[in-house]
């Protein structure tokens, strides 16, 4: 079975640089297009999903799925809200938000389906877990607690 854990980790410096570039791109979309036309997967051009992986479920015999810890749509909507406030610190706030929440975990495919469909969290966070003050991993944790034959404890964390 192939694992993601053998991939090359990028340095923190490279990640910060790519987040700065992504922040500038989001800001440009906000200034010039009012955020219209933004697709949540545009970030994949700058920060490939493999570079975002922070953990992987190493359970035997499961199908795996990449899952963003915070839905991209929600995360980028929050970035646009920050830019709408026109604060001087907006870029720094967005960079911080992306650094904290733009992450991927390789999880049990059954858990991913439960998160997206059963729990209805495909594009949202659990109630009471609002950005920017929630644990980045609350969706993943709640998903695993909903699938009895899967264990959150089988996730190996890389960060």
Task: Dump pLDDT digits (tens) for 28-45.
Answer: 888 888 767 777 777 777
Assess whether pLDDT exceeds 90 at residue 90. Answer: yes
SS3 assignment, position 138: helix
Alpha helices for 114-152 (secondary structure H): 138-146
**pLDDT confidence of residue 1:** 40
The helix/strand count (H/E) of the chain reads as 6, 4
Asked whether residue 2 is assigned to any structural domain, the reply reads no
Sheet holding 104-108, edge to edge: 64-68, 104-108, 53-57, 155-157
In a domain, 1, yes or no: no
CA 88-20-40 angle, to 5 degrees, is 100
Residue 5: inside a domain, yes or no?
no
Query: What is the overall mean pLDDT for the chain?
Result: 85
- Percentage of the residues of the chain whose pLDDT score is greater than 70: 89
Residue 3 lies in a domain: no
Q: Please, which pLDDT band fits residue 117 given cuts at 50, 70 and 90?
A: very high
Please list the residues that pair with 108 across neighbouring strands: 64
Give 29 or 90, the one with higher predicted confidence.
90
- Asked which of 59-68, 129-138, 150-159 is least confident by mean pLDDT, the reply is 150-159
CB 114 within 8 A of CB 122: no
Closest CA to 70 of 103, 94, 93: 103
Confidence band, pLDDT 50/70/90 cuts, at residue 70: very high
* Pairwise CA distance, residues 34 & 96, whole Å: 21
| Total domain count, the chain | 1
Residue 7 counted as domain residue:
no
Q: Is the pLDDT of residue 7 over 70?
A: no
pLDDT at 155 over 80: yes
- For residues 65-70, give the mean pLDDT: 92
Decide which of 44 and 140 is more confident: 140
Domain-embedded: residue 4? no
129 assigned to some structural domain: yes
Range of the domain at 130: 12-157
pLDDT in the model for residue 29: 85
Place of tokens 């933004």: 38
Contact between residue 69 and residue 119 where contact means Cβ atoms under 8 Å apart: no
Is residue 60 one of the residues assigned to a domain? Answer: yes
DSSP letter, residue 124: S
């Amino acid at each position: 079975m192939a694992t993601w854990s053998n991939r090359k980790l990028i340095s923190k410096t490279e990640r910060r640089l790519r987040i700065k570039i992504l922040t500038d791109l989001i800001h440009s979309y906000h200034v010039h297009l009012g955020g219209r036309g933004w697709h949540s997967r545009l970030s994949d051009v700058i920060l490939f999903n493999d570079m975002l992986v922070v953990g992987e479920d190493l359970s035997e015999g499961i199908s795996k799925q990449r899952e963003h810890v915070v839905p991209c749509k929600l995360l980028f909507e929050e970035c646009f809200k920050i830019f709408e406030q026109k604060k001087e610190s907006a870029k720094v706030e967005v960079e911080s938000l992306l650094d904290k929440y733009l992450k991927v975990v390789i999880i049990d495919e059954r858990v991913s389906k439960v998160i997206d469909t059963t729990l209805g969290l495909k594009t949202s966070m659990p109630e009471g877990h609002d950005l920017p003050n929630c644990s980045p991993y609350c969706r993943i944790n709640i998903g695993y607690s909903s699938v009895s034959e899967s264990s959150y404890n089988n996730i190996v964390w890389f960060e």
